[in-house]
Amino acid sequence: MGVNFDYAIDRRNTNCSKYDGMEASFGRNDLLPLWIADMDFPVPEAVTEALKKRAEHPVYGYNIFPKGYFEAFASWTERHHDWSPKSAWVCHTPGVLTALSTAILAFTQPGDPVLIQPPVYFPFQSTLEALGRTVLNNQLLYEDGHFSIDFADFEEKAKKAKLFIFCSPHNPSSRVWKREELERIEAVCRKNNLLVFSDEIHCDIVYQPNKHTVFANLSEWAREHCIIAMAPSKTFNLAGLEMSHITIPNKELREKFQYLLRYGLHVANGNSFGIAAAQAAYTHGEEWYRDLMAYLTGNIEFLDEALKKWIPQVKLVRPESTYIPLLDMEGLHMDSQELWDFMIQKAGVALHAGRTFGPGGEQFMRINVGTQRANLQLFIERLRTALARR
């Protein structure tokens, strides 16, 4: 039997960031939480069963990654992305961000310029700053509700960069880069011998008719010059179990990365529950995933139509991927601080401020539609009422 995604689960008092951590981020705990990127849905039944089974064995010592675990991941990526990574290519890190830090430390030096494409997932910038690297911004262009790459600028910046942190699909623009765009990116990187960290954590949450292309699948050169980061955390809502798969086909790069992970950072052991959950999700999660995509598609339709009907000043940047699309708030004529205050104090909603994603994000707020549709209805009602009172 399928999951009822409309059924609301009370997540309060489970140490969850989205609800229990709201006060720390927004100064209030009574907001409608549509911010941090996890979903309010239960995981596939097979994952719960695998976790129970693992919990029944009362010893939680150090782990290995079983063969079946790699096979489950490779089989998933083969079915969904025409890509079958060899198990020897796959490294484990607790999170994609751990992998990002490891790659920055392994492949660049302090002060080195590293290229990113804002407005983009904000830890890209903060990680570079924390590790003393220089941020090179190739700001995305925004026109008629659509983001695209400024290729002329990209070509210039790529000449100087030592590493390119690519977000594909891109958070928060929700773009799924088209094959032609990816080929242009690849050609510039190849010309400049630029290593690519391709963060593909959102690759499974892609809406029809868009199609994700794994960077390593673009060419022989791409395969030998990339680090591909994927995880079951967004797809199956497992962020709290801290699992991600980092695939590095090139042996020399992989050995350098693994060496730092194992002997410098000590984060390569894996989590007993994470391994069990990820393997079960990739093996048995297909039907749940199909239902999830149908529900998220319905949520996006609902939100888009409701905004057009009731609040046409606020526009949904129609997502090609992710459950965390942007809302274009330009029509409200508020600056980014006013928007932030208004959403918290007047509308009673916790959204992510677009400005946190860097230059180009100021006129947006990011909304999380990975929730019951009734919450999106509530969002519309609260925002409508607040705007009417304004």
Q: How far is the CB of 233 from ligand PLP (least distance, A)?
A: 5
Beta carbons of 339 and 329 less than 8 angstroms apart = yes
Give the angle subtended at the CA of 349 by the CAs of 344 and 352, to the nearest 5°. 85
Q: How far is the CB of 226 from ligand PLP (least distance, A)?
A: 16
Cα gap 74→258, rounded to integer Å: 19
Neighbours of 31 (CB within 10 A): 22
- Secondary structure tally for the chain: helices H, strands E: 15, 15
Q: How far is the CB of 5 from ligand PLP (least distance, A)?
A: 20
Nearer residue to ligand PLP within complex by CB, 95 or 358: 95
Q: How far is the CB of 97 from ligand PLP (least distance, A)?
A: 4
Give the residue from 339, 367, 384 showing the smallest Cα distance to 32.
Answer: 367
DSSP state of 358: -
Nearer residue to ligand PLP within complex by CB, 186 or 199: 199
Nearer residue to ligand PLP within complex by CB, 218 or 241: 241
Q: How far is the CB of 199 from ligand PLP (least distance, A)?
A: 5
Nearer residue to ligand PLP within complex by CB, 321 or 383: 321
Q: Which residue is nearest to ligand PLP (CB)?
A: 95
Nearer residue to ligand PLP within complex by CB, 214 or 383: 214
Cα gap 189→304, rounded to integer Å: 36
Nearer residue to ligand PLP within complex by CB, 93 or 306: 93
Residue matched to tokens 């390119």:
164
Alpha-carbon distance values, 385 to 27, 132, 191, 278, 348 (Å)? 22, 45, 54, 42, 11
- φ, ψ of residue 365 to 5 degrees: the values are -130, 150
Alpha-carbon distance values, 81 to 127, 205, 217 (Å)? 29, 12, 9
Q: How far is the CB of 120 from ligand PLP (least distance, A)?
A: 8
Nearer residue to ligand PLP within complex by CB, 237 or 244: 244
Give the residue from 73, 76, 2, 95 showing the smallest Cα distance to 44.
Answer: 2
Nearer residue to ligand PLP within complex by CB, 101 or 279: 101
Q: How far is the CB of 165 from ligand PLP (least distance, A)?
A: 10
Q: How far is the CB of 231 from ligand PLP (least distance, A)?
A: 5
DSSP per-residue codes, 134-149:
EEEE-PPEEETTEEE-
Please list the alpha-helical segments (H only) found in the chain.
17-20, 22-26, 45-56, 67-81, 96-107, 123-130, 151-160, 179-191, 220-224, 232-235, 251-259, 272-284, 286-310, 336-341, 373-389
Q: How far is the CB of 254 from ligand PLP (least distance, A)?
A: 19
Nearer residue to ligand PLP within complex by CB, 95 or 119: 95
Cα gap 303→383, rounded to integer Å: 12
Beta carbons of 139 and 156 less than 8 angstroms apart = no
The contact set with ligand PLP (CB under 6 A) reads 37, 95-97, 121, 167, 171, 199, 201, 231, 233, 239, 244
